[in-house]
Chains A and B, each alone.
Chain A
Amino acid sequence: MDDNDDLDLKNALRHDDQFDSAQAASLRQSARERYSKSMRYITRYLNVTVVVTTMFVAFCLAFLVVNNNERLRTLAICYLVIAMLTGVLVKLWYWTVNTKIAILREIKETFLLSAAGGLQVGPQQDENPVPRPVKRWVLVYIFVSVVSALAGVYAGYRLAEPTGSLRTTSTVQADGTCTSVVETAFINERDVPLTEMTFNSQITSEERRFSDEEGRSLPVSIEQRNNTNFYTIKFIKPVMPGQWLWLRDENTYVSKGAADGDVRVLEWTNGVPGTKVVYTYTFILPPKTEVVSPVPDYAETTADGCPKVTYRNTRFGSSRPFPFVLKYRLVP
């Protein structure tokens, strides 16, 4: 036997009558089902990846816009970059691979068509091709983007650091008069240094004193417009952009709240600029009184038998109305 007998060898190797075409067809059917499942999985995997990265991008963008915490914003930027790169790379890979396949396919088809006595290329597309739900996925992308952006706004806002605080300690007399100390702090969010501050107040007390964090009295001018007092406080030194401003306000205040039978009403209307402000109200009520509403976060009794109640909340997500209204009554 020599190399010239290759053809005989080939024929001998291919000579086999044990092959069962029907059994093979059954195996092919099973493999075809697995193939279709596998291809569906790939498409789904790709779409899910892009949707997830889209969610991350929308969430992080919204979070960045709303949040003011530097560390959280840095983290959001990292996630944003990773999500964007992942999404872009996945899509780029998919596009590159498909383009390459399409070009190669064209080349092979050209070769087959030009080959003398070549094989038939066969149907170019399946009679029943697997539908590609592009439109549905586009809708999904839009939907998850909007939802994620909203979630990002919510989370960013919730996790944002307070931009101001207002702590009030009021001692309420039996006639409803309040002697209050209000400590206010907020960030100068303007782009220019703050040398003075003007605000309106319903407190008409003549005994009112403003001081800074070092206890120095601050000059105040009062102007009345439309039956409202406008206070202008001049700072000793300007508050630079991004810096905290601290202010102490001591006053005597008669609440506008009307008595309702035994129940007395106290309204507190002071506010602080900014959207994320922590408010703390502490009221020392007259002896032999009790709070009707709202239920205090913290309650105690002073040494001289006065109820002392404290409320703490933020403007964002607060269930309590503003201005703050306290109702109390004499213990029968």
Chain B
Amino acid sequence: MYSHDTDYVYDQHLVLRCRQNEPAAFDELLRRWQERLWRHARRLTGDSEAAWDVLQETFLAVSQGIWRLEDAAYFRTWVYSIATHKSMDWLRRREREKRRIEEYASAVAAGADCVKERGLTDDLSYAIAQLPPEDQSILSLRYDGELSTVEIAKVLEIPEGTVKSRLYTVRRKLRELMERENGR
């Protein structure tokens, strides 16, 4: 359970210190979360550069809104929500420019190529990279962000049952992809 997790409590402690006007605590909090958020944004946008933009916007939103965060326990959900919304905004912007579909396809391909170029032969990583951003996002929140299904439901603004079914589906997809790769 997260409530007994030291990391989780330490995050809450940092949030409380931030609310008491301690810039060092704010810096520490961002340092602890920067990589997770960046990875989450990259999976959603499918673009490393876009992930940096999203991370910057997320940091700024956190800097302006952390004093309004009533309950420090919601920090994880809150910060992932911001990153998700910023990523969605980025995708919408791209869609408005009528290049979304083309860039989406090329981004997925580039992502897969990138994995290969980096020499990541791990089947699982390769399979994850082939999943659509939405599926990567839910996996990222569950396994990288260590969010519960309830928290994921809050971040993605979908029912908890949907989160569970989507996680099941994504895992099944991964299994199929890996079996296909291993069968080659």
Chain A residues close to B by CB (< 8 Å): 1, 6, 8-10, 12-19, 23-24, 27-28, 30-32, 34-36, 38-39, 42-43, 97-98, 101-102, 104-105, 108-109, 111-112, 115, 117-119, 121-123, 125-127, 129-130
Of the candidates B19, B34, B56, B144, the one whose C-beta lies within 8 Å of that of A101 is: B19
Q: Does the CB pair B26–A101 fall under 8 Å?
A: no
Chain A positions within 8 Å of B72 at CB level? 104
Q: Is B165 an interface residue (CB 8 A)?
A: no
Name the contact of B56 in the complex, choosing from A30, A38, A111 (C-beta under 8 A): A30
Considering only CB atoms, which chain B residue lies closest to A98 in the complex? Answer: B20
Interface residues of B, dominant DSSP? helix
A12 near B128 (CB under 8 angstroms)? yes
Cβ contacts under 8 Å, B14 to chain A: 122
Q: B45 CB to closest chain A CB, in angstroms? A: 13
Please name all residues of chain B whose beta carbon is closer than 8 Å to the beta carbon of A31 when the two chains form the complex: 26, 30, 56, 59-60, 62-63
CB distance from A105 to the nearest CB of B (A): 4
Residues of A with C-beta under 8 A to B12: 104, 108
In the complex, the answer to whether A17 meets B20 with C-beta atoms within 8 Å is no
Residues from chain B with Cβ under 8 Å of A108 in the complex: 9-10, 12-13, 16
Q: In the assembly, what is the distance between CA of A34 and CA of B67, in Å?
A: 12
Q: What chain A residues lie within 8 Å of B22 (beta carbons)?
A: 125-126, 129
Given contacts A1-B171, A9-B124, A119-B7, contact A36 B62 (CB under 8 A): no
Chain B CB within 10 Å, residue with most, of A13, A19, A27: A13
B48 touches A18 (CB 8 A): yes
Question: Do B23 and A36 touch across chains, with their CB atoms under 8 A apart?
Answer: yes
Mark interface residues in B130-157 (1 if CB within 8 Å of A CB, else 0): 0000000001100110000000000000
In the complex the two chains form, is A35's CB within 8 Å of B17's CB?
no
| A-side contacts of B82, CB under 8 Å | none
Chain B residue numbers with a CB within 8 Å of A28 are 27, 30-31, 34, 59
Interface contact B124-A30, CB-CB below 8 Å: no
A111: chain B residues at CB < 8 Å are 9
